Amino acid sequence: MTRNAHILIVDDEAPIRESLAFFLEDCDFAVSTAETAEAALHKLQEKRCDAVLVDMRLPDMDGETFVRQGFKLSPTTAFLIHTGSADFILSPELRALGLSPAHVFFKPITNLNAFAESLRKLASTGVG
């Protein structure tokens, strides 16, 4: 029996965080959530995550800083960007960590089934 992919969702907006968690749980992912970057970094240290979906505007840290710190803690985890800024562009620093446009998801995700499929592939390959 294969292990369910473990996804960490980091977003301070409860409806977004919970709706994603519920949907992914229904799709047989193992899901953890965090409201803040600091809480998410703790969770990354405690348990391995296959993928982290992170909002770019967190109350205690910007998403890019979180990805850089999270990558140091868990370099094989796939870090995925979830942003409400329609003109978001990956910075050279994030690209250097292996992120590509395929790792960026814009809010709202209007087709969660398609998102779950993408997530399954990205979680299995990790960053880069």
Partner 1 sequence: MADDDALEQSEAFITSIFHSTPSGLGIVRNNVFERVNDPLCGMLDYLPSDLIGANTRLLYADDDAYLQVTLEIEQQLEQGTSCCLETEWRCRNGMAIDVLLRAAALCPTNLDAGMSLGVLDITARKQQAELAYLLDKHLAKNRLAAGTTHELRNLVAGMIQSNQVIGNRLQTELPGNLAVAQDCDIEFDAIRHYIEQRKISRMIAAIDNAGKRAIQLIERTRRFSHTEDISPRPYNLVELLDEVLELAATDSTLNKNEFFAKTQLVREFAPNTPWVSCKRGDIEQVVLNLLYLSAESFSGIDADSPMIIIRLKKASSGVQIEFEHNGTDLPDSLQRRDFGNLYPPPHVGAGIAPSLWVSYFVVAQKLGGKMDVERAAGNGAKITIRLPTTQGGES
Q: Which of residues 10-39 bind partner 1 (CB under 8 A)?
A: 13-16, 18-20, 22-23, 25-26
* 120 class by beta-carbon count within 10 Å (0-12 exposed, 13-18 middle, 19+ buried): middle
Least distance to partner 1, CB of residue 1, Å: 14
With respect to partner 1, which residue has the nearer C-beta, 2 or 110?
Answer: 110
CB 31 to partner 1: min, Å: 12
> Applying CB under 8 A, does 86 fall inside the site for partner 1?
yes
Smallest gap from residue 81 Cβ to partner 1 (A): 14
Asked whether position 7 contacts partner 1 by CB under 8 A, the answer is no
> What residues make contact with partner 1 under the rule CB under 8 A?
13-16, 18-20, 22-23, 25-26, 84-87, 107-110, 112
